[in-house]
């Protein structure tokens, strides 16, 4: 084996170890990453169109699944934002009512004071 072939083998084994380490550190690796690993290890075996088609279909399913999850998260975030806006509106209305009631209470206190003073005289 030539020196360049040995280096290529070493690089391949290092890359494989790095990918395995990433896989063990991140258990949420998708099947896309696993497919990528098989592509780098045995690209000669994927020369058949049926196998390539199968890999592409699996990748398409994974991408569709991820996009679906992303869309769900965005819809949820939009709903949460609308709830926050609605709650802000309710709080503003409650504060307005509270201030109005405080003013009414003060007005009633003043009237009762006037009435009490009138009765005392």
pLDDT tens per residue, range 32-59: 455 554 555 555 555 688 888 999 999 9
Please report which residue ranges of 28-48 form alpha helices under DSSP H. Answer: 31-41
The secondary structure element, H or E, covering residue 94 is: helix 49-120
Which is more confidently placed, 50 or 106?
106
Residue of 15, 71, 63 whose CA lies nearest to 39: 15
pTM (two decimals): 0.44
The two structure tokens encoding residue 104: 């009414």
């Amino acid at each position: 084996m030539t020196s360049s072939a040995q280096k290529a083998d070493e690089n391949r084994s290092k890359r494989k170890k790095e990918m395995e380490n990433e896989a063990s550190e991140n258990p949420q690796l998708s099947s896309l990453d696993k497919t990528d690993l098989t592509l780098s290890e045995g690209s000669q075996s994927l020369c058949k169109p049926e196998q390539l088609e199968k890999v592409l279909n699996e990748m398409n399913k994974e991408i569709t699944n991820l996009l679906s999850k992303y869309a769900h998260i965005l819809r949820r975030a939009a709903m949460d934002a609308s709830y926050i806006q609605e709650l802000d509106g309710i709080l503003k209305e409650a504060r307005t009512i509270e201030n109005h009631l405080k003013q009414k209470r003060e007005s009633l206190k003043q009237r009762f004071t006037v009435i009490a003073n009138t009765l005392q005289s």
